Structure formats: structure tokens, C-alpha cells
């Protein structure tokens, strides 16, 4: 009798542990999603998400192999438990650009909002942005701004892993209003000529990590917007593209600052910029600043502006606002560059063009080794910047 009780206890414990480890699974095909890329499966995806979001135990929305057409997908929380979107197939946007998106110019194509404990794993998202790029290239006007392929809004404890994003109309990934988010082992691909197709854009978010990611695009590989704190970007390869940029900042009359950003182990090949900070040339901006930035262990190959701070940024002259004649109100301080090596495609490899009314302060250069492709020394220029250089600095320091 004693042995029976012990055996029963072990069996009960095994069943309890097994039950606790199980996750509810919701295959979108079971909700009517059709592979083949011709039938809009947005409704089926919404139903599968709704069921997973209501689950009292951790749940997975599973997308099998195949191409699934989505006109738009909005996955909203809060959910009852942790949810994973596991994608083995490809999510495809509609052809053309008039039938996607929500109520605004960029409400996003695939959107997660107010979800705590989200994992997006694997798969491909194809934004099919070619039609919109062609419209913009034609220069006739009347083109919408486009849709971001993947947005994560107002969410916490999020992991995006193993995803491939191709040919987004606008940004590939936007992280806005989030805390505790990791992007890892992601690949982003778009032609160098595709306009405004930033790889990963982060704003109004904290404790974000981007790691082991390859980005080929037509704009910034990683862009950092107002209100970003405690961001770490590591082991990112960039090219083609416009580099890794903090900013642009100061476009609005009131903005939050950017603080505690580390970019380490990045590689740039043939990009417009390498490590950039850019602010609009506007004299009246409240609350905007950049401080506590570390750029380290970066490799440049044929990069036009390997290291640049540009506080006169004002594309198209600010729509007639006259901002090229103003001094930026955004204060930049405590920015350190360490172990930046490689080749510059332009004569000036280091350029600090800071604000006359708010000079850059606490700029540090250490072990900077940048030359022209020919092997000849590059140059460095400074405007309104204060700091110091140490270790081996090539080109000559302008601080």
C-alpha cells in the first residue's frame, strides 16, 4: 500500500509539472488562413490572436509554411498571459499601396500594442514597397508616406528573434513607448535606393537591446528618436544605408531627450554615414538633449562620414522655415568614441559641426584610426566642440 501511494504521488507530480509546462497553440490555418498569398488572411490572424490573448496559460499563435496575405494586422492587448507569434512562413503585404494601413499615413502594417510578455519568432515579412518607391521617385507628388512593416507600441518584455524583413514601404521596425525589448538575430533587406526605409527606429522607449542584426536599407540602419534611454546596439552590420543615427532631434518645439546609448561592435560598409548625431537647426526647442553616449569598437569600410555630429540638419530648408540660419537648441554632451577604425570615402573622416549657442561638451576620442582608401591620412574638423583626444588618433584630433 505504501509503494502504491508513493507511485501515485510521483504520477500526480509528473502530471502537474507536465501540465504547467504546456502552452496553448493556435494555428492560423485552423481559423481559416489560406497560404498562397492571394486570399486576405487578416481576419483569421485576428481570430487566432484573440483566442491566444484570452488564454489563461502561455499561448502560441502559429503561422505554418506558405505565403499569407495580410491587408493589415493589429494585435492588441493586454493579454491574460504570455503570447508568442511563431512564424515559419511569409507574411505578405498587398501589392500596390492604396489598400493597406489604418486611418493615418503610417498606422503600420503589422502592429502590436499594449502587449506584455510578447515574443515574435522567425519568419519573413514582405512589405512589397516597390510601388510606393516608384511613386516617390517619379516626383509627381500625391504619394502617401507609406506604412511601417512592424510596429511595437506601448509594450513591455518583448523579444523579436530570427525575423527577416524585406522591402518595407517605410520603416521596417518601429519601437515606440516600450520598456524591456530585445531585437536579436534579425535580418533587414531593402535596396539602397529605397527612400525612408529605416531598419530599426526606437523612440520614447527604455531598456532596448538590438544585437546580432544585419541591416541593408535605403536610410538609417538604426535611428534613435526623442525619449530613448538605456539603449544598447551591439554587433550590427550596416550597409547599404545611412548609418546609425541618434536623431534627427529638435524638429518639434518640445521634445524629450536621449540618454545612455551604447553602440558597440558595429560594422559599416559603403554607408553614407557611420556614427551620427543629428539635430535640426531650430533655436526654440524645449527638453531636447543628447548625453551619455558611447560609440566603441566600430569598423568602417568606404564610409563617407565615419564620425559626424551635425547640428545644422534641415533637409529641404525646413519647408521655408529658415532653420539653416538658426543655432540648434539641442545640447549634446558626454559622447565618447573609442576604437573606431577603417577607411573614409571622403577627405574629412571626423566632423563635429555643433551648435554655436549650445556647444558640444565632453566629447572624447580614443584610438581613432581612420584613413582614406588610398591609405593617406584623413582630416578632422570641429565647430563649437569641446573635449579631448587620447591614445592613437588618426586623423589628427580637432579637439
The CATH number that applies at residue 372 is 2.160.20.10
**pLDDT tens for residues 295-332?**
999 999 999 999 999 999 887 665 555 555 788 999 99
Q: Is 210 part of a structural domain of the chain?
A: no
Q: Is 361 part of a structural domain of the chain?
A: yes
Mean pLDDT of the chain: 91
246, pLDDT greater than 70: yes
Q: Kindly report which listed range (111-115, 142-146, 193-197) carries the lowest average pLDDT score.
A: 142-146
Looking at residue 14, what is its pLDDT? 31
Q: What is the mean pLDDT of residues 130-137?
A: 95
Looking at residue 13, what is its pLDDT? 31
157, pLDDT greater than 70: yes
Q: Is 366 part of a structural domain of the chain?
A: yes
Q: Which domain holds residue 370?
A: 220-315+323-398
160, pLDDT greater than 90: yes
Q: What is the mean pLDDT of residues 329-336?
A: 97
In sequence order, the β-bridge partners of residue 37 are none
Q: Is 15 part of a structural domain of the chain?
A: no
Q: Is 132 part of a structural domain of the chain?
A: no
**pLDDT tens for residues 65-78?**
999 999 999 999 99
Looking at residue 366, what is its pLDDT? 97
Domain total of the chain: 1
Q: Is 364 part of a structural domain of the chain?
A: yes
225, pLDDT greater than 70: yes
Cα–Cα distance between 381 and 396 in angstroms, integer? Answer: 9
Tell me which residues are annotated as active site: 242
193, pLDDT greater than 80: yes
Q: Are 281 and 313 in contact (CB under 8 A)?
A: yes
Q: Is 189 part of a structural domain of the chain?
A: no
Q: Is 156 part of a structural domain of the chain?
A: no
Three cell numbers written together for 13: 507530480
Q: What is the pTM of this model?
A: 0.92
Looking at residue 76, what is its pLDDT? 98
CA distances to 101, 245, 351, 368, 387 from 337, in Å: 40, 14, 13, 8, 11
**pLDDT tens for residues 76-111?**
999 999 999 999 999 999 998 876 766 556 889 999
Looking at residue 154, what is its pLDDT? 98
Q: Are 318 and 324 in contact (CB under 8 A)?
A: yes
Looking at residue 16, what is its pLDDT? 29
Cα–Cα distance between 293 and 176 in angstroms, integer? Answer: 20
3-state secondary structure of 269: strand
Amino acid at each position: 500500500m505504501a509503494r502504491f501511494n508513493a507511485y501515485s504521488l510521483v504520477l500526480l507530480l509528473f502530471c502537474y509539472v507536465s501540465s504547467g509546462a504546456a502552452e496553448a497553440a493556435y494555428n492560423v490555418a485552423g481559423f481559416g488562413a489560406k497560404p498562397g498569398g492571394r486570399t486576405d488572411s487578416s481576419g483569421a490572424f485576428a481570430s487566432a490572436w484573440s483566442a491566444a490573448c484570452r488564454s489563461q496559460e502561455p499561448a502560441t499563435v502559429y503561422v505554418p509554411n506558405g505565403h499569407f496575405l495580410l491587408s493589415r494586422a493589429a494585435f492588441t492587448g493586454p493579454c491574460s498571459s504570455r503570447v508568442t507569434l511563431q512564424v515559419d512562413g511569409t507574411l505578405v503585404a498587398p501589392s500596390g499601396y492604396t489598400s493597406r494601413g489604418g486611418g493615418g499615413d503610417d498606422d503600420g502594417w503589422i502592429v502590436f500594442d499594449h502587449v506584455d510578455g510578447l515574443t515574435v519568432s522567425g519568419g519573413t515579412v514582405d512589405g512589397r514597397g516597390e510601388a510606393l518607391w516608384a511613386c516617390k521617385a517619379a516626383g509627381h507628388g500625391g504619394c502617401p508616406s507609406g506604412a511601417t512593416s512592424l510596429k511595437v507600441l506601448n509594450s513591455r518584455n518583448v523579444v523579436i528573434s530570427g525575423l527577416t524583413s524585406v522591402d518595407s514601404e517605410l520603416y521596417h521596425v518601429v519601437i515606440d513607448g516600450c520598456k524591456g525589448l530585445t531585437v536579436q538575430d534579425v535580418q533587414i533587406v531593402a535596396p539602397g535606393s529605397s527612400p525612408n526605409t529605416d531598419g530599426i527606429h526606437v523612440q520614447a522607449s527604455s531598456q532596448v537591446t538590438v544585437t546580432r542584426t544585419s541591416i541593408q536599407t535605403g536610410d538609417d540602419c538604426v535611428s534613435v528618436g526623442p525619449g530613448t534611454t538605456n539603449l544598447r546596439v551591439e554587433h550590427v552590420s550596416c550597409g547599404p544605408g545611412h548609418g546609425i543615427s541618434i536623431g534627427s532631434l529638435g524638429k518639434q518645439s518640445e521634445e524629450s531627450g536621449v540618454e545612455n546609448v551604447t553602440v558597440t561592435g558595429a560594422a559599416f560598409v559603403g554607408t553614407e554615414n557611420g556614427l551620427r548625431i543629428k539635430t535640426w537647426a531650430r533655436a526654440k526647442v524645449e527638453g531636447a538633449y543628447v548625453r551619455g553616449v558611447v560609440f566603441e569598437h566600430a569598423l568602417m569600410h568606404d564610409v563617407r562620414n565615419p564620425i559626424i555630429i551635425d547640428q545644422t540638419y534641415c533637409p529641404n530648408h525646413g519647408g521655408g522655415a529658415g532653420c539653416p540660419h538658426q543655432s540648434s537648441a539641442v545640447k549634446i554632451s558626454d559622447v565618447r568614441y573609442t576604437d573606431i577604425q577603417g577607411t573614409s570615402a571622403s577627405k574629412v573622416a571626423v566632423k563635429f559641426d555643433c551648435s554655436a549657442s549650445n556647444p558640444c561638451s565632453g566629447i572624447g576620442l580614443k584610438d581613432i584610426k581612420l584613413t582614406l582608401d588610398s591609405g593617406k591620412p584623413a582630416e578632422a574638423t570641429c565647430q563649437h566642440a569641446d573635449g579631448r583626444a587620447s591614445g592613437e588618433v588618426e586623423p589628427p584630433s580637432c579637439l
